[in-house]
Structure 1
Amino acid sequence: MEEVTVDFFDRMMAVNVRAAFLQLAALTQHLNDGASIVITSSTGSVEGSPVATVYAATKGAIESAARGWATALAPRNIRVNVLVPGNVDTDFRRFMDDDTRETFNRDVIGRVPLSRAGTPDEAAAVALFLLGDDAAYVTGSRYFVDGGLSKR
């Protein structure tokens, strides 16, 4: 917490919060009635990690905003839901050196009840469900794709 600077905080909020607000504000007028929006968050929003508090706050803000957006867009039958992935096996952490990445993945996977990372296809399947007609009565919800990580 002591290392958070104004610049870091502002950049993180700009990328993860302000950008989503402005994007949705610009796009909603172009959406057809009955459309579906999926916002991507992260289990960081509920994990309580001491090294990712600003990141977690941005994801929590987006989750909260999505509930409001779901209510605001409901008269147009536009659904808004949140996909909350946990550790999904992508090269997202490529900026880390190999040892740091391995330690990080081992620590996270060690807390996942299913004892593995998810796949991009598993996360995409939930997103496709939320975007499709099978989820026609689902809005303002969060769907965790995290192997049970958020349940511990």
Structure 2
Amino acid sequence: MNHTLQHKVAVITGGNSGIGLAAAKELVAREATVLITGRRKEAVYKAAAETGTIPFIADQASLEDIEKLKEELQERFGKIDILFINAGITGGFASIADVSVENFDSVMNINFRGAYFTLSKLIPLLSDGASVVILSSIVAATYHPNSSVYQASKAALNSIAKTAAAELASRNIRVNIISPGPHKTEVMKKAGLDATTLEQINDQLVNSIPLKKMGDPADIAKLVAYLSGPEAGFITGSEIIVDGGMML
């Protein structure tokens, strides 16, 4: 048993699947008390039972839900030591000329606006010396056709993370960014792509990665834990890219 995060209170948005779920398992293994959020009640409660975490139903796109989350955390713990802002979606794929307002709003409301106000509303609960980790993506620095909204949402997220690192440094609160490349999660499946298309995309991605494999969410989880522990006490405002060499 790793005791590095004992007595720490951690919050993970979108903690019921993928990287969020892996992070929940890792932080619990290091003896943190972990609360996970998500939109789907059944999935959140199942994940909580699986990981020994505390479930809370909240949509990151909803300012009302963010406020309720803040109230719950204030009442239950009175503090947060680790905040992992992880929830996000890719949205649909379309050119700038064809993108719908609905798709734009859906992606931005979760990935940027929701993440921004999750951080904003929870800052008063952050302990001095707390760690904030924000999940971005290597797409923040890419310009692939038909992915403009998703890419822009992550680029905006990176910008506010660095500003937050500067603003919160006086309280020794560290804010860091993890930008994964392709990992074995269901994020693309949630975008509505069929199995054949997903397999083709996965094959193309693996061929474009120097290490010739997809990433494992468990590795991102270990990085979240590291950035949240005492060993990373001098790291803030950093973006750590985990992509198997894809951006070389």
> Shared fold by TM > 0.5?
yes
Shift of 1:131: 1.1
Q: 1:103 aligns with which of 200, 205, 230?
A: 200
Other-structure match for 1:60: 155
SS in 1 for 2:128: coil
The Cα of 1:135 is off from its aligned counterpart by: 0.8
Higher strand proportion (structure 1 or 2): 2
Once residues 92 and 129 of structure 1 are traced to their aligned partners in structure 2, the CA distance between those partners, rounded to angstroms, is: 24
- Structure 2 CA distance, aligned partners of 1:86 and 1:79? 23
SS in 2 for 1:2: coil
Structure 2 counterpart SS, 1:3: coil
Equivalent pairs: percent with the same residue?
A: 38
Counterpart secondary structure, 1:20: helix
**CA deviation map 1:17-71 (0-9, x unaligned):** 1101111111110010000000000111123211211100000000011000000
Which amino acid in structure 1 is aligned with residue 238 of structure 2? S
Segments of 5+ residues of structure 2 without an aligned counterpart are: 1-95
4+ long deviations beyond 3 Å: none
Residue in 2 aligned with 1:147? Answer: 244
Structure 1: state its 5+ residue gaps: none
Matches within 5 A, 1:34-45: 34-45=129-140
Q: Tell me whether 1:93 sits opposite 2:188 in the alignment.
A: yes
CA RMSD of aligned residues (A): 1.1
The partner residue of 1:119 within 206, 216, 239 is 216
CA distance in 2 between partners of 1:128 and 1:45 (Å): 23
Distance in 1, matches of 2:184 and 2:167, equals: 34
> Which of the numbers 160, 165, 180 marks the counterpart of 1:70?
165
Structure 1 position 138 matched with structure 2 position 138:
no
When normalised by structure 2's length, the TM-score is: 0.59
Residue equivalent to 2:104: 9
TM-score (norm 1): 0.94
The amino acid of 1:52's aligned partner reads S
Residue type at the aligned position of 2:117: L
Quick one: higher RCO (CA 8 Å, sep 6+), 1 or 2? 1
| Matching residue's letter, 1:34 | G
Structure 1 residues 91 and 81: alpha-carbon distance in aligned structure 2, compared to 1, 3 A threshold: same
